[in-house]
Amino acid sequence: MNTMKIQIITLFPEMFEGVLNSSMLWKAQDRGLVEFSVIDLRQFGLGPRNQVDDPPYGGGDGMVLMVEPLSKAIAHAKAQDETAKVYLPTPRGKTFKQSDAKRVAASEEGLIIVCPRYEGYDERIIDWVDEQYSIGNYVLTGGEIPAMVLLDSVTRLIPGVLGGEESAEKESFQQDDVSIEHPQYTRPEDFNGKKVPSVLLSGNHARIEQWKDENSR
Ligand code: SAM
């Protein structure tokens, strides 16, 4: 059994505690299918104050993460897993889709995810990066939430993480921009007059499958 190593480089390690220690991500670690480690970028900072950011050349608002601490942190992560691929969340990247999550999960290669902050990062870090990705057309405060999006969407596709082996194949976005799963219902059958579609209670598997197809898009 292969254990996928996922390393996260961040200035805010505490943001990952709840996410990595809950539900499927916790189970995936518990089953030895994935191993997460969170690396504090601050320990690679420069000088007595472990500086990691500086104002941008050419002027502009805010601070930018410096290339030296970032490259040192990536080198440290690579030393733990030399074939790991480095991912950089950035609005400049291609939008991350379900097909990307499948491709990354199937590769079985380790991941190193770098989480920028402030106004971004010194562009020269790109030489250490294998893939830049965006999670959509809006600006977040830092790369931590996009890192969680990547590691969650990939981990749940690793064989053995989800309960039913087929469930990932029947989910939404199998063709990325199209194909949304049918609506789901559970008890009670009648909630304040809102009823579960009767076909789902019929026990007729052929009709149920037909309803599911008709109500997927
Ligand atoms: N000044 C940057 C710009 O205008 O493109 C935004 C910087 S943002 C405040 C800080 C960091 O959050 C980014 O460098 C990136 O790592 C991450 N980030 C923000 N929005 C993102 C998105 N939609 N997809 C991926 N990463 C994002």
In the predicted model, what is the mean pLDDT of residues 178-205?
96
Name the CATH architecture for the domain at 4-155: 3-Layer(aba) Sandwich (3.40)
Q: Which of 104, 107, 94, 115 is nearest to 7 (CA)?
A: 115
Extract the tokens encoding 212: 């599911």
State if residue 136 touches ligand 1 by the CB under 6 angstroms criterion. yes
Q: Please list the residue range(s) of the chain that carry CATH number 3.40.1280.10.
A: 4-155
Given this structure, which CATH class describes domain 182-214?
mainly alpha
DSSP state of 181: P
In the predicted model, what is the mean pLDDT of residues 63-68?
98
In the predicted model, what is the mean pLDDT of residues 78-84?
98
Q: Please list the residue range(s) of the chain that carry CATH number 1.10.1270.20.
A: 182-214
Packing angle between helix 144-155 and helix 98-107, nearest 10 degrees?
70
Burial string for 177-203 (b: 16+ CB within 10 Å, else e) reads eeeeebeeeeeeeeeeeeeeeeebeee
Q: How confident is the model over 104-123, as pLDDT tens digits? A: 999 989 999 999 999 999 99
Q: Residue 116 in contact with residue 147, Cβ under 8 Å?
A: no
Q: Which residue is listed with tokens 């030489």? A: 127
Which helix or strand (DSSP H or E) is residue 5 part of? strand 4-10
Report the separation in Å between the CA atom of 129 and the middle of ligand 1, taken as the mean of its atom positions. Answer: 16
- Closest residue by Cα to atom 27, ligand 1, is 90
Q: How confident is the model over 40-53, as pLDDT tens digits? A: 999 999 999 999 99
State if residue 69 touches ligand 1 by the CB under 6 angstroms criterion. no
pTM reported for the whole predicted model: 0.95
Question: Does residue 169 carry a pLDDT above 90?
Answer: no
Cα dist from 87 to 17, 79, 113, 130, 166, whole Å: 20, 16, 5, 6, 28
In the predicted model, what is the mean pLDDT of residues 71-91?
98
In the predicted model, what is the mean pLDDT of residues 57-86?
98
**What ligand 1 atom has the least distance to the C-alpha of 92?**
5
pLDDT at 166: 55
pLDDT at 165: 55
Q: How confident is the model over 17-63, as pLDDT tens digits? A: 999 999 999 999 999 999 999 999 999 999 999 999 999 999 999 99
Q: How confident is the model over 123-167, as pLDDT tens digits? A: 999 999 999 999 999 999 999 999 999 999 999 999 999 976 557
Residue 174 confidence class, pLDDT cut points 50, 70, 90: confident
Residue 87 confidence class, pLDDT cut points 50, 70, 90: very high
pLDDT at 134: 98
- Provide the 3-class DSSP secondary structure of residue 192: coil
Ligand 1 pocket test: pick from 65, 121, 131, 140 the residue with the most ligand atoms within 8 Å of its Cβ: 140
